[in-house]
Structure 1
Amino acid sequence: MDVDSEAILGWTRVAVLVLCMGWAAWFDHKERRVANEHWVVWSKPILFIWTLDLLIQNPHWSVWLTASALVAYASGSVLGRPTIRDAQQGNRMDQVVFVWYFVSIVGLLVAALRFSTVHPLDVLVGDASSEATLWWSYIGALFTLFVIDLAWRLRFIHGGADAKALMWVTLLFPSWAEVPLLSTESMDEIVLHLPPSLSLLIWGGFLFILIPLILLIRNIFTGSIRSFSDLSMAWMALSIPLASVHGRHVWILSDTMALPSGETVVHHQRRAPRRTPSEEELMEQIRRLEELGTERIWVSLKLPLLLFLFPAILPLVMIGDPMATLLPLLLP
């Protein structure tokens, strides 16, 4: 593939990434859910870009079917897995998906035999052919999809939208060869890198570190810090008017507490409840606070991961793998 075609496809991928993740982050922030249709719709640009990429590179047909295997595996998170029982009962969708799985597996096995003599280390050091490198990058992406899916099933990734987003990013960027990095200095320092989708997850995790600082600044500007107790809450929670809590995606940390003397005071917890209270419990808690004349309360914001994955696109494209930047600093 020539440099111009590679750059055009690379930046097209980035544009699709920004649009899709930005839209998904907005949905997750406002509605706390991202419909499966969103990922289905935005998978179409991926398939189009992949088709152009493969047409330009013109690999063996088994590489095409290996790419098909990636899409087939990821589709299970959105469309669900077919069952033999439904297929036997004449469910056309399940029958078609089973045929899709079978053809993709055949292509995967044929490609495995074709490139069995190529060691992954040859790919890492650049001694493999472009066709073998492409196939091994798809195998790496397939393993990444499996890791994300397993983390979702084991509840290491809680949100379904978060797992689907990471799978979608894996399809968009199967390897770093598809990412148009602005700086490759840190990436050139080491040979083995984290996949782009997992790197995006780590960059998003780094942004979590900024939350206490942002909360503290917001509480200072609203004049909510009036005592040491307020200061201890200001970096982990947000002070808002009690009247504005309705309809907001927050956990209320303030509640009433009866003292041994019989006096009832407002008490602020430092941790969000393990179980999200029901609407009736929430209204009762608000009523108790209103009876004491409470005007402002402390709340913990419910921040979806997608809100952090979206801005993490910037360091992903500018720097690349975060571990490639940190490891030389930690292990000089």
Structure 2
Amino acid sequence: MLLQRARYKVIPSSRYVDLQAGQVIAGARAGTLLACMGLAAWLDHLDRRVPNRHWIVWSQPVLLLWALDLAVREADLSVWLTLLLPLSYASGAVLGRPSFQDIKDGSRLDLAAVVAYLTALVGLGLGAQRHGSVEAIDLVLWNLEGAQALWWELIGVTLVLVVIDVAWRLRLLHGGADAKALMWVALLVPTWGALTWLANDDSVVLAMPPALSILLWGGLAFLLIPPWNLVRNLVRGDVKGVGDLRHAFHAERMPLHAVKDSHVWMLSGVEVGLDGIERVVHRVRAPRRTPSEEAVDAAIASLAALDVDRVWVTRKVPLLVVLWPACVAALMFGDVAGLLFAPLV
């Protein structure tokens, strides 16, 4: 009787809810993006590292959403097999690449990775035969449908993963967690069409891949740091003269005793002049290399000996911390490059 009542309540409510499977999957993608990247940003803020376990755990909803998307859009066998191509490539950033020595030693993980690579290559070959024939203009403007669109989405995601991986190896992306995060985003949101509320924006003709666009959004977020620092330093009263304006945009004053336990670069230090007298100096730029713990202790001791209570520091802002608000901006406004260059098209 209870089940009948529940069914009775659900059926009439469907008259007022017109949700398609694609919209549900898109909403799940957005929620997963905000949850995973928010937690990663918090972990990076606390410890300056994000464990690999985080990306392994959050890869599970990515796999589920891809499986649902492929099932709803009636993907053929070649698409299902090609799905292993970006997944296998991205897994190497977390689990490592298989080696011949580990395979000889009977490593099950490496054997499974090799099988996944070979299966992906089979899917790549089948997909190229079935869906590879396409006009360049249709590919650029994304005039593709069905299984063909899915197969090319997977190819595009793989290319984005390669770009991110190369950028990390060339030190254009300094943090391994940053590269893994962008790879994860590329897998979760392969195209802007995956976010249904942004897919119908006809004002944008060409768009960057979502992962790279979010990186660009994050770069724009960094531009907000200087004015924020200036306002905060003015409110705190740390700008006491024209000379302090050199530091007011990118640095802040901090109690000397709090420096060691904070993620900052200390700009203040002690130098000995030609007359042999020690003087406090405030550098404008952060050191190129992070000083050792012993060097920081020595610098703090030298400043304390001169009765210095507050010093200029610049905070180490992890990229992941600004990537989370960048994800919010991307979900609300879409591709930043398309918005910037739309008036020129």
Which bin holds the TM-score, normalised by the shorter protein?
over 0.9
Instruction: Tell me if structure 2 keeps the 8 A contact 1:120–1:136.
Output: no
SS of structure 1 residue aligned to 2:250: coil
- The reply on whether 1:61 has 2:77 as its aligned counterpart is yes
CA distance in 1, matches of 2:342, 2:208: 15
In structure 2, the CA distance between the partners of 1:203 and 1:295, relative to structure 1 (3 Å rule), is: same
Whether 2:114 is the aligned partner of 1:98: answer yes
Mapped partners of 1:228, 1:38: distance in 2: 46
Aligned partners of 1:197 and 1:46: how far apart in 2?
Answer: 14
2:56 to 29, 40, 43: 40
- Structure index of larger Rg: 2
User: How high is the TM-score relative to the length of structure 1?
Assistant: 0.95
What amino acid sits opposite 1:295 in the alignment? Answer: D
How far is the alpha carbon of 1:102 from its aligned partner? 0.4
Q: 1:288 aligns with which of 302, 308, 311?
A: 302
CA deviation after TM superposition for structure 1 residue 248, in Å = 0.4
Q: Aligned pair 1:22/2:28, yes or no? A: no
Give, in angstroms, the shift of residue 7 of structure 1: 1.1
Could you say which residue in structure 2 is the equivalent of 1:264? 278
Indicate which of 235, 246, 266 corresponds to 1:221.
Answer: 235
Please report how far the alpha carbon of residue 82 of structure 1 lies from its aligned counterpart in structure 2 after TM superposition: 0.2
Q: Which residue of 2 aligns with 1:178?
A: 194
SS of equivalent to 2:342:
helix
**Number of the residue aligned with 1:309:** 323
One-letter identity of the residue aligned with 1:110: L
| Distance in 2 between residues matched to 1:75 and 1:125, nearest whole Å | 30
Rounded to whole Å, the distance in 2 between the matches of 1:251 and 1:126 is 46
User: Which residue of structure 2 aligns with residue 117 of structure 1?
Assistant: 133
Residue 240 of structure 1: SS of its match in structure 2?
strand
Q: Does structure 1 residue 200 correspond to structure 2 residue 211?
A: no
Per-residue deviation, 1:206: 0.1
- Residue of structure 1 aligned with 2:100, choices 84, 95, 105: 84
Secondary structure in 2 matching 1:255: strand
Q: Which amino acid aligns with 1:265?
A: R
| CA–CA distance in structure 1, aligned partners of residues 329 and 91 of structure 2 | 28
Match for residue 161 of structure 2 among 139, 145, 164: 145
Distance 2:200 2:240 in 1: 48
* CA deviation string 1:230-269 (max 9, x = no partner): 1221111111111211210001000012222333221011
Which residues of structure 1 form unaligned runs of 5+?
A: none
- What are the superposed Cα offsets for residues 126-170 of structure 1, whole Å, 9 maximum, x if unpaired? 543321111111111110000001101111100000000000000
* Amino acid across the alignment from 1:176: W
Q: Which residue does the alignment assign to 1:319? A: 333
Letter in 2 for 1:81: R
Separation of aligned partners in 2, 1:147 and 1:15 = 26
Q: Which amino acid aligns with 1:214?
A: W
Distance 2:197 2:330 in 1: 8
- Given that residues 196 and 321 in structure 1 are in contact (C-alpha distance below 8 angstroms), is that contact kept between their aligned partners in structure 2? yes
Where structure 2 has 5 or more consecutive residues not aligned to the other structure, the ranges are 1-17
Aligned to 2:179: 163
- How has the CA–CA distance of structure 1 residues 144 and 249 changed in structure 2, closer, same or farther, with 3 Å as cutoff? same
Percent of residue pairs bearing the same amino acid type: 45
Work out the number of aligned pairs and report it. 328
Q: In 2, distance between residues paired with 1:65 and 1:273?
A: 49
Q: Deviations over 1:175-212 (max 9, x none)?
A: 11112445854xx2343210000000000000000111
SS in 2 for 1:285: helix
CA spacing shift, 1:155–1:125, aligned 2, 3 Å: closer
| Greater shift in the superposed pair: 21-30 or 243-252 | 243-252
SS at match of 1:109: helix
Q: TM-score, normalised by structure 2?
A: 0.91
Assess if the C-alpha contact under 8 Å between 2:192 and 2:198 holds in 1.
no
Aligned to 2:8: none
Paired residue secondary structure (2:280): strand
Distance 1:126 1:310 in 2: 28
* Structure 1 range deviating more: 319-328 or 281-290: 319-328
